[in-house]
Amino acid sequence: MKTPCGTGSVLLIIVCGLLFATSASAKTEAHPPSVNGEVALELSASKGDSPSFGRLKAMSGVWRHEYLKTYLPGYLFRADMSFCPYDETEDEAAGSFQQGEINCARRCGMGEKNLAAGFLPEALAEYMTAAEKGCPYTVQGCRARVGMMKADLAMGRLDEARRLFLRLSRKYDVADDDLFKLVGGILAAIDEHYDQALHGFTKAGTNWHLVANVEGIAAYTLMQVGRYEDARNVFRVTMHSPWTAVRDFGVLGLADCTLALGKWGEAEPLYESLVKEKSPLGLLGMAEFKTRQGKLKEAREILEKLLVSSGRDTWKGIALTYLMSLNAKPEQWAESLLLAEGGKGLVLPMYWRNALDMRTAEALGNGIRSLWQRDAHEELLILAEKWRGHQKALRQEVQLLIGQAYEQAGLKSAALEVYSRLSEDPEALFHGARLAWKCGEYQTAQTLLEKYLDTKSGDRRNDARLLLACVHARQNRLDEAKRSLRGMGRVEDPAILIALASVEASMGMEDLAIDHLQTALEDAVISDEEREHLLYLLAQLNYQQGRFHKALRCFRLAAGRDGSEPAIMAEPMEVLCLARIGKPGDARTLLGKIPKDEESNLVGEILDAEDLLERLRKKGYGY
């Protein structure tokens, strides 16, 4: 199962021998922390790093690993650029398939040639045909399955390669097979199990030539466990690769390790060499380097260059995410959202789509807060509607501001939708319940209030309990409403005070209702229209309680007078109050100023009845 040698084989054997000799005594440094399940590349712990680099460090490891996983497998086992499967002569082809006979050795040989030349689907087809029809499933005949594993790995069919690797490992004793040690190391590195990967590479000794171009993955593994000097030696081998993808990754890795060793002056020319080649790896690496130096303007210019020059969505997405990460200040939200516009149509791997969405939500949240503080609620709603798909990703306190802005704009349904989804935010639950109650959606109000009270938190629990009593009263559940009213504390919300007074009045608790209406009138927040309405309610309750002087004063205050001034355009109830306090003459005079209608005629009949009763009392009829 030999494969063609890789590039730089003499240097590689020396490097591998060095690693094998020092592996027993080499001290492996601690792995860098994992961020969101992705490895974070610890380039160095230099005190000279700019604070801005902290937001990029986790992402820098992600795109490097994605590049390794996506591009480098395609060059594994690659050694020959001259062979073409379609150049085979007709005589050779005819001799291979005489009378339908499948020759296992020839099929596998063709598979290896195709694999070495980079014709990966053709290689897999040869190996599969050999395995299915030409090769027995024995220790001697597993060559075709091994070839399939190699082709799957090179094609990035990692799950298939892993399954074949495990199946062959269980079926045959491959513990001493250097090819399997290397493949196991590659799969472990791709899965970010770097200690296990390093074990496989080290145990293979100097036989790395069995997997051509494995150096990039092996060097990255060494870098991830902190063996930067060893990694530099192996990355130097990849710099001699005839394939750009492998060579660029080697230059990047060498620059990263050089930087990790604190040799900033040596690292910069390496990044610069990639930039001159217009490599996305170099542009990103140089942008990170400038960020570490605190040269954010230069970093942005490099990222913008990548954004406009790359033809791949993934590189554009990474550049956008980096640019938005550099716009970390809250006041830069508008610039970040402008960048986010460019990411809407990109097809990106999950990590970068999530990262871009997270940065968008962050910028949107900053924008919402800024506009709320400026009382620019109309602009806030326009912004929220434009990015409606990102609202749910915002912090709950920011979503609450959106709900309040909707409510103030009279968009009650939209506000209620926002409040209802904030089930973990007590303040949002209360706001939602209050709005649902005002809209007459009593069942929704009840549900949200019960959720609020179940949270065991929030500073408006008394208001919530009393509002629930109002809801129960509207639902004709008077016994539950009365239970909620027992032992109630002070109520701060004027709207709840007014509703509570209405409930209390309906249940014969007029004294409490009057107290709550008077408290509500003391609140400076209520409008003139609300104040007039409250005064009329208070006047009616006082009248019903026989407090005619107070009722008269409330009627006059509701009409915009100081409480003692007689009416120019009187209310019928004011006439009745004057009659009840023993001023029938004043009542008649005032009644004459009221336009004749059904209500004034009724008041006149009441006054006539009062006069008749008074005359009867004077005659001794006992009324």
40 — pLDDT class (breaks 50, 70, 90): very low
143-154 and 120-129 helices cross at what angle (nearest 10)? 160
- Sorted by where each begins, the domain ranges of the chain are 9-262, 395-448
* Calculated CA dihedral for residues 45, 47, 49, 50, nearest 10 degrees: 140
Distance CA 42, CA 270 (A): 18
Distance CA 456, CA 408 (A): 28
Look at residue 102 and tell me whether its pLDDT is greater than 70: no
157 — pLDDT class (breaks 50, 70, 90): very high
350 — pLDDT class (breaks 50, 70, 90): very high
Centroid of chain to Cα 606 = 69
Residues forming a β-bridge with 35: 38
Distance CA 70, CA 281 (A): 14
Residues forming a β-bridge with 34: 39
DSSP codes, 305-350: HHHHH---HHHHHHHHHHHHHH--SGGGHHHHHHHHHTTTT----H
140 — pLDDT class (breaks 50, 70, 90): low
Percentage of the chain exceeding pLDDT 90: 44
Q: What is the model's pLDDT at position 205?
A: 86
Give the residue from 453, 510, 512 showing the smallest Cα distance to 488.
512
Q: Is the pTM of this model over 0.85?
A: no
φ and ψ at residue 39, rounded to 5 degrees: -70, 140
Query: Residues in the chain, how many?
Result: 623
Coil, strand or helix at 612: helix
Handedness of CA 598, 602, 608, 611 (dihedral sign): negative
Q: Which CATH class is domain 395-448?
A: mainly alpha
Give the residue from 140, 134, 135, 109 showing the smallest Cα distance to 122.
109
Look at residue 327 and tell me whether its pLDDT is greater than 90: no
370 — pLDDT class (breaks 50, 70, 90): very high
* Calculated CA dihedral for residues 486, 491, 495, 501, nearest 10 degrees: 40
* Tokens 């500073």, residue located: 459
Residue-wise pLDDT for 431-471, tens only, equals: 888 888 888 888 888 888 888 888 877 778 878 888 888 88
Look at residue 98 and tell me whether its pLDDT is greater than 80: no
Burial of 102-132, coded b for 16+ CB within 10 Å and e otherwise, reads ebbebbbebbbbbbbbbbbebbbbbbbbbbe
Residue-wise pLDDT for 504-526, tens only, equals: 776 767 777 777 777 777 765 67
Give the residue from 492, 377, 515, 347 showing the smallest Cα distance to 434.
492
Look at residue 166 and tell me whether its pLDDT is greater than 60: yes
Q: How far is CA 347 from CA 299, 318, 410, in A?
A: 24, 12, 38
